[in-house]
Each structure stands twice: as structure tokens, then as C-alpha cells.
Amino acid sequence: MKILFVVTYLYPRGGDSNHAFSVVEGLRERGHEVLLFGMQDEKNVVDLPGPFAPRVDFREIHQKKTPRGLFKALRSIYSLPAKKAAAEFIDLHGPFDIAHVHSVHHQLTMSVLDALKVKHIPFVWTLHDYKLICPNTTLFNETIGKRCENPGEGSPLCIVRRRCKKGSFLASVLAGTESAFNYLGGYYNYPQCFILPSSFLKELIVSRNVTDCPLRVIPNFSPLKPEMKPESSGSDFLFIGRLSRGKGIALLIRAFADSYHRISGKLVIVGSGDADNELRILASELLPEDRYVFAGQIDSSEEIAQYYRNARCMILPSVWYENLPLSILEAFSFARPVIASNIGGIPEMVLNGETGILFEPGSVDGLTDALILLNNDTEAAKQMGINGWNMVKTEFSKNAYISKLLKLYSDVLQGSE
């Protein structure tokens, strides 16, 4: 098949683009031709054919706050330049059998979907966040550090009332207007099928009745290859991911402070983000210097692998609704059990007592007990890690994902999906 991938960022930048590039690699390995359309950026991987959609950086627009910037901000609702570039790309490089959309909101916008429709290209759309039911994409208000009590209820007006977008009234109005435009314009009924990483996300979308399209759950796969022979457990307690309030890292620091005198190893925090400074201050107040490490952002896969090998377990103490976190699959790839909040799509991977330990979101005591348990019971930690390792090799493997995806493409093209 000749397949068109639509991805905003055409370089490794977060979960959606990293996942898309890995899927492209898997499809090409099976003999399919895949081309990518997205936004112009100096960071784009080399040898990608154009044309590209014009580059839009909303952080720059927000900082400058000029009339021209406001006009560019309105392009987050519908971008005629992006539509034109997509149509030219299809004319130049097509025809395509099918398209696979990964990210279009904000920079590319629904205009690209109009281009696909005009060119009569059937497409599927993988959802990497909660945008269909939450204008803020996360079901979480980062400014006040609270998740939605009734996920997606009241959307899109709720974002304006609560100022969920960066704590800004104007940014929240813009995000809410965009969501209303997309919904009322019928764009969420354009795809032949939505692909969802978790059953949790599927249940939310069904409950909010935002689309009539078929919904297919195909869990993501680990971006790291499982170890050929997993090593014995290390001693460190590892968090790896974005340093934001929703990840619950402050909760982890407090739980480690309550338990470090009863366990061995260090608390190792890998990643960067807006909450970096406040988390470092909290750790310095509660923990001895020799019991914690902030490693910063690590991009080397081999360095990341070594952090997992040194760990007793990986901890994901999220207080927001995780979808299907790749860090859990990474930990399983190294046969490390996972301690995680019982929230969102996490319980679909972390099976309590089998591949890790679940605790009540926000519970310092629950997390403290889990840390002590896995520290003291080496055999239990080892067996949970092996169970996760077996799971990621079968249920969450790249090969299984590509096979399911190709079956979906076939169903779409035959009209059975």
C-alpha cells in the first residue's frame, strides 16, 4: 500500500511523533510505502519531501502578543495555508491508498482533513490525548493542579469557566472556540475509524457521544526493545517522564521521605518540565542529599536503558488520567515492576500483584507501603518484572501492533470498518 501519515511535528518530539515514526518504520519493513506530511521546522528529519504546512509556534505568539500574532493564533482553528499545502502534497506524491492521521489540532487544524476528504482519501485517526472531549487535551488543570471530576462534561465551555489553558482567559477562549468549531463542523465524524490506545479512552469518548465513527482499541507498543535476558533487580526507585504537576512527583518525593530510612537505594528522577524547580526544592527540604538524584532530560536510549537496569522498580504516581503511558511499557521491557496510581488506562497494563502494584491516586500512605513492599520482597519484585516482560513481548509488541494496524487498514479499504 501507499500510505500518507499526517503528523504535526516531523521530528522526534513527544509521544505522538515518536510513535508515528516508529510505526512508519514498521510498515516500511513490511514493504509498504509511507510518506509523511506535517509542519515546516528546521528540526525536521532529513530527506522528507515537501511541501510542508507553515510553521506555527504558539509560545512565540503568546510572548509577543502583537496583532499579527493574534491573526496567527486564529489559525489554530482553521488554517487555509495548511490545507493548501496538504492538497499540493497529495497532488505531487499521490495517489494514496489510505491516510493515517496522528496529530492535526492547533498547527495543522481540521483543514487538512478537508483536504483528505476532497481528494477522496480514506483515513484512520490515532488519538494520543483527550482532545475530542477536552479542549485542554489533558482533563487536567495544570495551574491549580486538579483533574476533572467528571471527565469531558461541560466541554467546551468548561475550559473558559475554569481557565484550564495556561491559566489564561484568552487562551482558554481560543481553545474552547476551536473545539466547538471542530465538533459543530462535523470533523470528528470524518474518519473511517478512530484508533485508541486504551479502553479507558474508548469508554470516555462513548460516554460523551462526540463521534459516530467506529472506535478500535489498539494499544501502543514499547519504544524500547525488550532485553534478551533481563537482569536481576537493581536498588533504585525510578521515575522517568515529564516533570509536571499531573505526574504526581511531589507525592512520590513525600512518600520516599516517609520510607527512605526503611529501604535501600536512591530516588532517581529522570526528565524535565515546568515543575522541575519546585520539585528540586521539595526534595532538598525532605531528603538527604545522598538519597535522591535529578538526572534531567535524557535523550540517549542507552542511558535510559541503564537507569532502568539500576532500578528496583519504576514509579508512576500520576494524579491525572493517564491514557497508556509508554514509560510503563519501557519498564516492562527491562523486566522492572511498576508502582502506579490506579487511574485512567494504567490498570490495563499494571495488573495489581502481577506486573506491579496499584495504589489510590494521591495517597502518600499507599505509595509508601508499595515502596517498602517491593524493596523488602526481592522475589516478588523479580516475578512481577518477569510478568511485565512477558506481557510487553506479546500483547504490547511492535510486531503485534503493526499486524493489527494492517488488518484495520484492510477492513477500512474493504468497507467492513
Residue 120 neighbours by CB distance under 10 Å: 7
DSSP per-residue string spanning 175-234: HHHHHHHHHHTTGGG-SSEEEES-HHHHHHHHHHT---S-EEE-----SSPPPSSPPPP-
Residue 158 neighbours by CB distance under 10 Å: 19
Mean pLDDT of the chain: 91
Q: Could you give the CA distance from residue 338 to residue 239 in angstroms, rounded to a whole number?
A: 10
Q: Look at 155 and 392; give whichever has higher pLDDT.
A: 392
Question: Is the predicted pLDDT of residue 129 greater than 70, yes or no?
Answer: yes
CB distance 94 to 125 below 8 Å: no
Structural domains in the chain, CATH included, are 2-222+397-413 (3.40.50.2000), 236-394 (3.40.50.2000)
- 52 CB burial (10 A radius; 0-12, 13-18, 19+): buried
Alpha-carbon dihedral 252, 253, 259, 264, rounded to 10 degrees: 100
Tens-digit pLDDT profile for residues 327-364: 999 999 999 999 999 999 999 999 999 999 999 999 99
Tens-digit pLDDT profile for residues 264-301: 999 999 999 999 999 999 999 999 999 999 999 988 88
Q: Lowest mean pLDDT: which of 64-68, 158-162, 182-186, 379-383?
A: 64-68
Sign of the CA dihedral with 275 first, then 276, 277, and 283 last: positive
pLDDT at 61: 54
